[in-house]
A = this chain, B = another copy of it.
Amino acid sequence: MRPTITAFKTSPDRGRGLARDMAVRWALEEVGQPYDTRLVTFAEMKAPAHLALQPFGQIPTYQDGDLVLFESAAIVLHVAERHPGVLLPVEPDARARAIAWMFAAVATMQPPIVELGMAALVERDKPWFEARQPLLEQAARVRLDQLSARLGEADWLDGPFSAGDLVMVTVLRRLGASGVLDAYPTLTAYIARAEARPAFQRAFAAQRAVFEAAAG
């Protein structure tokens, strides 16, 4: 059975692989699981049929037989669990630590990173934008400092590449155009190592093809 995921018909990231289907595509490529993609418009995402699959009106969803899942990190974890030893270590303690990095990525690293990016998008014309932006950057830097210190000279966060790295790199890539990562050579190299993986490249090409087809 091939799972089906949903993705933006017209992604607001303009093909840069920053939408949340990217993590799921990447995980599916890492484990070698072929999949189908169903594209949805913004209007479709807010309609009852999609809300039945995804209560927050977002992409991606994941459908495999009777199973419907949402939340990209949860889908990555499910895909990883179906292929033990690929994206999650088999040894129980190492497996638990890899999952902890998945949660750290979305619960601790992601909020200041998304807030920084969203403010630049939606608060740019507010009178407080100039005064707040340095505070937001500083909040993101606190977490980047800590993550960089923990990664140190290692290639990956805890042993071999894992679903923890996959989700963490997906989150960090959202800083792409901001320049904030320029001060973090350790993290820039970490992201580059991840992006060099053949599975990342295939996933990136797949989402890019959707953007190019829509751009016509």
Contacts and interface: CB of A to CB of B under 8 A. Distances in A.
A73 B132 contact: no
A106 interface: yes
B149 A104 contact: no
Given A69-B100, A96-B69, A108 B74 contact: no
A104 B143 contact: no
Q: How many copies does the complex hold?
A: 2
A74 B55 contact: no
A216 B76 CA distance: 47
A70 B98 CA distance: 11
A161 interface: no
A127 B131 CA distance: 10
A89 B169 CA distance: 30
Contact of A111 (B71, B73, B115): B115
A93 interface: yes
Interface residues of A, number: 42
B96 A78 contact: yes
B115 A70 contact: no
Contacts of A100: 69-71, 74-75
Contacts of A132: 128
B106 A103 contact: yes
A61 to B, nearest CB: 10
Interface of A: 51, 55-58, 66-71, 73-75, 77-78, 81, 93, 96-97, 99-100, 102-104, 106-108, 110-111, 114-115, 126-128, 131-132, 143, 146-147, 149-150
13 contacts: A51-B149, A56-B146, A66-B93, A69-B97, A71-B104, A71-B108, A73-B103, A78-B96, A106-B107, A107-B110, A111-B114, A127-B128, A128-B128
A-B pairs with lowest CB-CB distance, top 4: A128-B128, A74-B100, A55-B150, A106-B107
